[in-house]
Amino acid sequence: MRKKVIAGNWKMNKLLGEAVQFVEDTKVKVPSTEKVESVVCAPFPYLPTLVEKAKGTDLAIAAQNMHFEESGAFTGEVSPAMLKDIGVTYVVLGHSERRELFAETDETVNKKAHAAFAHQLVPIICVGETLEQRESNTTMEVVEDQVKKAIDGLSEEQVKASIIAYEPIWAIGTGKTATSEQANEVCTHIRKVVANAVSETAAEAVRIQYGGSVKPSNVDELLSQSDIDGALVGGASLEADSFLQLVEAGAK
């Protein structure tokens, strides 16, 4: 049984006081169970404070991005070593907003995945098709290509420890969720891609999240699907109550 992962991706939202309040409100309420991991992906300036606040609880704190280099002349960037040093444990890589707006490529996502493992960070690797690609029936090949490139050169153990988030771009922040069947179909395909590229063992172990307008009212159905092991959630992760309902669904 794969442990589910519910990750709230706050994106560029909340001020420090609000971020701290959220962690105070949720850290004692997230379920302590083998069934689910609860993760909050917060903006960089809040990470040290939130890691401190969440210490010793079942709430993990993640970054939303990082550079792949250890250090150097990269003004404005944050390195994997810095994240590791302050106690961050997960990092989102290749979110579609970073691919679209900040020139993230499959190649940089792959470099970042290697860098994450070099610093004991668990990567949450995002993939997903545009509406145009879905309408032209190229979803499976687009996603297959993204997954293969992202995990290229990782060891079997590293792939087993990775999290892949399938986020159809047309379902992000639009209120349009993929149906649970549509979401599962692609997640099943991702698992096959991993089986072919790495091994059956890696495919069995890798956790695959769905993301795109996940909310308390649709999370149960999505999580009941055979190949969906969690959710990466934007809007519905901003309120503590709603985030807690999502992690409770993961603990069922």
Instruction: Indicate the annotated binding residues for substrate.
Output: 9-11, 173, 213, 234-235
Residue that the structure tokens 């172990």 belong to: 205
Smaller CB separation from ligand 13P, 31 or 216? 216
- Interaction between residue 213 and ligand 13P (CB under 6 A): yes
CA distance 139 to 109: 19
Rg (alpha carbons) of the chain, rounded to whole number: 17
Count of residues near ligand 13P by CB under 6 A: 14
Q: Among 234, 243, 246, 249, indicate the residue that binds ligand 13P (CB under 6 A).
A: 234
Rounded to whole angstroms, what are the CA distances from 1 to 165, 227, 228, 250? 18, 11, 12, 13
Q: Residue 122, SS3?
A: strand
- Interaction between residue 233 and ligand 13P (CB under 6 A): yes
Smaller CB separation from ligand 13P, 146 or 213? 213
* DSSP bridge partners of 232: 7, 211
CA distance 93 to 13: 18
Active site residue 95: yes
Q: Among 54, 214, 219, 249, indicate the residue that binds ligand 13P (CB under 6 A).
A: 214
In terms of Cα–Cα distance, which of 186, 197, 209 is closest to 133?
A: 186
Q: Residue positions in the annotated binding site? A: 9-11, 173, 213, 234-235
Smaller CB separation from ligand 13P, 167 or 229? 167
Residue that the structure tokens 């399938």 belong to: 166
> Segment near ligand 13P (CB under 6 A), from 43-51, 72-80, 199-207, 210-218?
210-218
Q: Identify whether the C-beta of residue 124 lies closer than 8 Å to the C-beta of residue 151.
A: no
- Interaction between residue 202 and ligand 13P (CB under 6 A): no
Residues 167-186 that bind ligand 13P (CB under 6 A): 167, 172-173
In terms of Cα–Cα distance, which of 118, 2, 125 is closest to 62?
A: 125
CB of residue 66 vs ligand 13P: minimum separation in angstroms?
16
Smaller CB separation from ligand 13P, 177 or 198? 177
- The one-letter code for the residue type at 114 is H
Residues forming contacts to ligand 13P in the complex (CB under 6 A) are 9, 95, 167, 172-173, 211-214, 232-236
Active site residues: 95, 167
